[in-house]
Amino acid sequence: MLKQKKVIDSQIVMTELVLPHHTNQLGNLLGGQLMHWIDICAALSAAKHSHRVCVTASVDKIDFHHPIKLGDAVTLIACVNRAFNTSMEVGVEVYAQSFKEGTKAHSNTAFLTFVAVDDNGNPVKVAEAIPETEEEKRRYEEALERRENRLKSRTKRD
Ligand SMILES: CC(C)(COP(=O)(O)OP(=O)(O)OC[C@H]1O[C@@H](n2cnc3c(N)ncnc32)[C@H](O)[C@@H]1OP(=O)(O)O)[C@@H](O)C(=O)NCCC(=O)NCCS
């Protein structure tokens, strides 16, 4: 197994069409549906980086700034921002596009932490994620600060 992998090699791009069963009574995409797509896209990115089954350890706060409408195409782009020991921070950018109106808007950014596990569900070490572009380097640095805040506010198990 490689000890280091490029951030870009963990990239997953996923596009979904907003259908009636994804929406509320106003014809807007349900928040829970978007969170499901974010979770799947991020899990695929973590698995692509680690070559392991990855479980969601935590999801940072997600703000919904604009409604996404029935018939829009939702594109999610996920990358491992930084790998720690057994955990990885994955960033997901969400874009909503209306082909009818010819519009495209950045809708959300989400940060999730995944842990790579073995067949018994025990955490296993993952390769380092090497940032190359300025943007990747910025996210890499910021991921450490977010991890520290996350672990400080981590709730203990019963
Ligand atoms: C995530 C899980 C594997 C962590 O196991 P654990 O026994 O707590 O393991 P550890 O305390 O050794 O932590 C392992 C890693 O997870 C990270 N982690 C654990 N809880 C975390 C949290 N709430 N937020 C961020 N990272 C977390 C730790 O920082 C550590 O990372 P590191 O190895 O990179 O330093 C375990 O809690 C689990 O299986 N949870 C359920 C996952 C799941 O089912 N997800 C779907 C929910 S519906």
**Which residue in 5, 2, 114 sits closest to 54, CA to CA?**
114
For ligand 1, the distance from its centroid to the CA atom of residue 73, given in whole angstroms, is 33
Identify the residue whose C-alpha is closest to ligand 1 atom 9.
123
Tell me the pLDDT tens digit for each residue of 85-104: 999 999 999 999 999 999 99
Identify the residue whose C-alpha is closest to ligand 1 atom 24.
58
Ligand 1 neighbours (beta carbon < 6 A): 55-58, 84-87, 113, 115, 117, 121, 123, 150-151, 154
Q: How much is the mean pLDDT over the chain?
A: 95
First-residue to last-residue Cα distance in the chain: 35
CA 131, CA 91: separation in Å to the nearest integer?
Answer: 13
Return the minimum-mean-pLDDT range out of 25-29, 63-67, 78-82, 147-151: 63-67
Lookup: tokens for 91: 């960033």
Identify the residue whose C-alpha is closest to ligand 1 atom 44.
55
The yes-or-no verdict on residue 26 having pLDDT over 90 is yes
The yes-or-no verdict on residue 158 having pLDDT over 80 is no
Tell me the pLDDT tens digit for each residue of 116-134: 999 999 999 999 999 999 9
* pLDDT score recorded for residue 2: 76
Specify the CATH superfamily of domain 4-152: Hotdog Thioesterase (3.10.129.10)
Across 130-154, average pLDDT: 95
pTM of the model: 0.95
Extents of the domains making up the chain: 4-152
pLDDT band for position 40 (cuts 50, 70, 90): very high
For ligand 1, the distance from its centroid to the CA atom of residue 58, given in whole angstroms, is 8
The yes-or-no verdict on residue 156 having pLDDT over 70 is no
For ligand 1, the distance from its centroid to the CA atom of residue 111, given in whole angstroms, is 15
For ligand 1, the distance from its centroid to the CA atom of residue 90, given in whole angstroms, is 14
Tell me the pLDDT tens digit for each residue of 45-79: 999 999 999 999 999 989 888 899 999 999 999 99
